[in-house]
Amino acid sequence: MPSKILSACAALLPIAGLTAIAEPMPKLTHENDTYTLQVDGKPYLVLGAQIHNSSGWPASLDALWPSVRQLHANTIMVPVYWEAVEPEQGKFDFSNVDAAIKGARDSGVRLTLLWFGTWKNGGMDYTPPWVKSDPQTYPRVIDADGHPVDALSPLFDNSANADAKAFSALMQHLKETDSDKHTVIMVQVENEAGTLGSDRDYSPDANKAFAQPVPDVVVNSLHKKAGTWQEVFGPDAPESFASYYTAVYINHVAAAGKAVNPLPMYVNVWPREQSGLLRPGYSSPSGGAVTALLDMWKAVAPSIDVIGADNYDTNFDLYLTIAQRYTRPDNPLFVPETGHTMAHARHMFYIIGTPSALGISMFGINTISAEIPESLAQRNDTGEVAINYRLLGPAMGPILAARDAGHLQTAVEEDGISNRELKFDNYDAVARFGPIRSSYSGEKGTGNMDLSGRALVAQLAPDEFLVLGSNANVVFSPKLGDSQKHVSYLWVEEGSYENGTWHRTRLLNGDETYFGLILPHDGQTLRVKLMKY
């Protein structure tokens, strides 16, 4: 029979003990309109890397840790497979998890665990054999033609309870083995949930539920008029129906885990915003937290702290559209998966510069290790994302402080956009990309061939700035209308942060500053004090 527990009431259970756990347990805070992920009691920015789907085994993990260090990532995303954790019903094996935690500790990085349970990319591939082989107990989605699809239906208690039991066993294991160091800072519940192969479950039980009035929580959260699913949602009814039951199911799993160990939890979404013909259930899983249904997810799944869209788009317009739609007063921006091309390395700067953003993670550290350009490999580096992480990781404290105070500006090069204006309290600035040429409108960047320019500029004090990035040239100016028309550097320091303290390596001057503050391809972190005259 369709779910009793999967009702809105069960979905709205309080998050037991969330505030009772003392630091340094990782937690998500929301104060003064700002979200912060606190790790070890301090604001944290996820500069992540996800391993390949089948690499969460000791044999693969051992080989990956050196690449993790080369990438300068601070957080590694490691899948935990239901099929491996509970190969026989009720018998649990967490040896993979233990190996991941040990490896992460030895490498000095944190972990996000990805629960590959009922859903992985719209399918049930990671459910254990005892689930797959017993469709009577754990029903699959039935498509409109009456054929079973390789995805569990979100409507049935047996499946939700079995998943919740395994997930809470995982959370209990983390509580017992990781409560001292909190190597695991967040947990992703399921992976790109929803169904691929059908827009909803068309089984007789599901059809009965589909003919019922839409639950109040859905109607109210989405400001709709009451009616059946078809009446309320029209052509979007199958996806909305699938999404509601998926949200309730996932909340049930997350709540069970949180009841034993309240780590921050999130879901990742295969976004609906794509080019081409959009058909939920075929072009993307039907049932995920797509943007049109976010209000419903927030109402139905309160045990999920963050909803993050996996964002692989290389076009900055679509990339930013997706990011902006998931950035809301009730949801901080978090990108659980992104690519590792030059475009993605640039996009990272937009994400990190967004107030309240928790961070970003590049998918496929295995791939990037195999693709290390030789010259970078010799310098113990792994490409553009590694340049970003090497610059951003040590500076994360001042960057987050400036960003969330409204004092951080992002400048990213795009095709045809080679100069970006930045505005601060007492100064304006311009980030220029590529060779500088004099023109009628002044000295301008003419663009890098590889579109690699990106910079962050943080105002640390009214006349003091942190400037970091790659392949950019930054120049400050008095603000328009200022009676003082010129800017002089009191000093320009090259250096880096170590444990939050700035260490100057040298003072730059002469050729190194006369033509602007130069951020070479390898990246550079500068602190500069200005005066106007």
CA distance 305 to 249: 15
Q: What is the DSSP string of 443-461?
A: EEE---TT---EEEEEEEE
Distances in whole angstroms, Cα of residue 420 to Cα of each of 19, 138, 455, 472: 43, 55, 10, 10
Nearer to ligand DGJ, 337 or 463 (CB): 337
Nearer to ligand DGJ, 121 or 153 (CB): 121
x/- track of binding to ligand DGJ for residues 421-460 (CB under 6 A): ----------------------------------------
| 192 belongs to the binding site for ligand DGJ (CB under 6 A) | yes
Nearer to ligand DGJ, 163 or 337 (CB): 337
Q: Which two tokens stand for residue 35?
A: 């979200």
Q: How far is the CB of 312 from ligand DGJ (least distance, A)?
A: 7
Among 337, 381, 463, 493, binds ligand DGJ (CB under 6 A): 337
Number of residues this chain uses to bind ligand DGJ (CB under 6 A): 7
CA distance 446 to 429: 17
x/- track of binding to ligand DGJ for residues 309-328 (CB under 6 A): -x------------------
Residue 152 — left, alpha, or beta (φ > 0 → left; ψ -120 to 50 → alpha)? beta
Nearer to ligand DGJ, 151 or 508 (CB): 151
Q: Which two tokens stand for residue 357?
A: 């953003």
**Which residue shows structure tokens 């469709």?**
135
**Which residue shows structure tokens 């500790």?**
105
Q: How far is the CB of 191 from ligand DGJ (least distance, A)?
A: 5
**Which residue shows structure tokens 């249904």?**
293
Listed residue (221, 304, 422, 345) closest to 28, CA to CA = 304
Q: How far is the CB of 77 from ligand DGJ (least distance, A)?
A: 9
Pairing relationship of beta strands 110-120 and 184-191 according to DSSP bridges: parallel
Residues facing residue 474 across a β-bridge: 431, 517
| 338 belongs to the binding site for ligand DGJ (CB under 6 A) | no
Listed residue (110, 252, 273) closest to 190, CA to CA = 252
Alpha-carbon dihedral of residues 69, 70, 71, 77, nearest 10 degrees? -40
* DSSP code at position 110: E
C-alpha 346, offset from chain centre = 15
Site for ligand DGJ in 358-387 (CB under 6 A): 363
Cβ-based neighbour number of residue 154 at 10 Å: 30
Q: How far is the CB of 114 from ligand DGJ (least distance, A)?
A: 8
Q: How far is the CB of 363 from ligand DGJ (least distance, A)?
A: 5
| 53 belongs to the binding site for ligand DGJ (CB under 6 A) | yes
Hey, which bits of 368-498 come out as E strands? 408-412, 419-423, 427-432, 436-439, 442-445, 454-461, 464-470, 472-478, 487-498
Q: How far is the CB of 285 from ligand DGJ (least distance, A)?
A: 10
Who contacts 120 (Cβ-Cβ below 8 Å, separation ≥6)? 53, 126, 190, 191, 192
Residues facing residue 228 across a β-bridge: 213
Nearer to ligand DGJ, 53 or 369 (CB): 53
Q: How far is the CB of 164 from ligand DGJ (least distance, A)?
A: 21
| 190 belongs to the binding site for ligand DGJ (CB under 6 A) | no
Q: Which two tokens stand for residue 221?
A: 């959260």
Nearer to ligand DGJ, 361 or 419 (CB): 361
Nearer to ligand DGJ, 385 or 422 (CB): 385
Q: Residues 40, 58: contact at Cβ < 8 Å?
A: no
Nearer to ligand DGJ, 151 or 466 (CB): 151
Q: How far is the CB of 80 from ligand DGJ (least distance, A)?
A: 13
Site for ligand DGJ in 126-185 (CB under 6 A): none
**Residue closest to ligand DGJ (Cβ):** 192
Residues facing residue 420 across a β-bridge: 431
Q: How far is the CB of 100 from ligand DGJ (least distance, A)?
A: 16
Q: How far is the CB of 33 from ligand DGJ (least distance, A)?
A: 30
Listed residue (147, 179, 168, 103) closest to 303, CA to CA = 168
| 112 belongs to the binding site for ligand DGJ (CB under 6 A) | no
Q: What is the DSSP string of 9-40?
A: HHHT---TTTTTSPTTS-EEEEETTEEEEEET
Among 191, 243, 327, 524, binds ligand DGJ (CB under 6 A): 191
Nearer to ligand DGJ, 44 or 363 (CB): 363
| 284 belongs to the binding site for ligand DGJ (CB under 6 A) | no
Nearer to ligand DGJ, 121 or 331 (CB): 121
Site for ligand DGJ in 7-46 (CB under 6 A): none
Nearer to ligand DGJ, 209 or 309 (CB): 309
Q: How far is the CB of 425 from ligand DGJ (least distance, A)?
A: 41
Q: What sign does the dihedral 204-206-208-210 (CA atoms) show?
A: negative
CA distance 50 to 241: 31
Nearer to ligand DGJ, 121 or 198 (CB): 121
| 121 belongs to the binding site for ligand DGJ (CB under 6 A) | yes
* DSSP code at position 14: -
Q: By three-state DSSP, how is residue 435 classified?
A: coil
Nearer to ligand DGJ, 74 or 121 (CB): 121
Q: How far is the CB of 133 from ligand DGJ (least distance, A)?
A: 24
Q: How far is the CB of 167 from ligand DGJ (least distance, A)?
A: 18
Pairing relationship of beta strands 419-423 and 472-478 according to DSSP bridges: unpaired
Nearer to ligand DGJ, 310 or 463 (CB): 310
Which residues in this chain contact ligand DGJ in the complex, by CB under 6 A?
53, 121, 191-192, 310, 337, 363
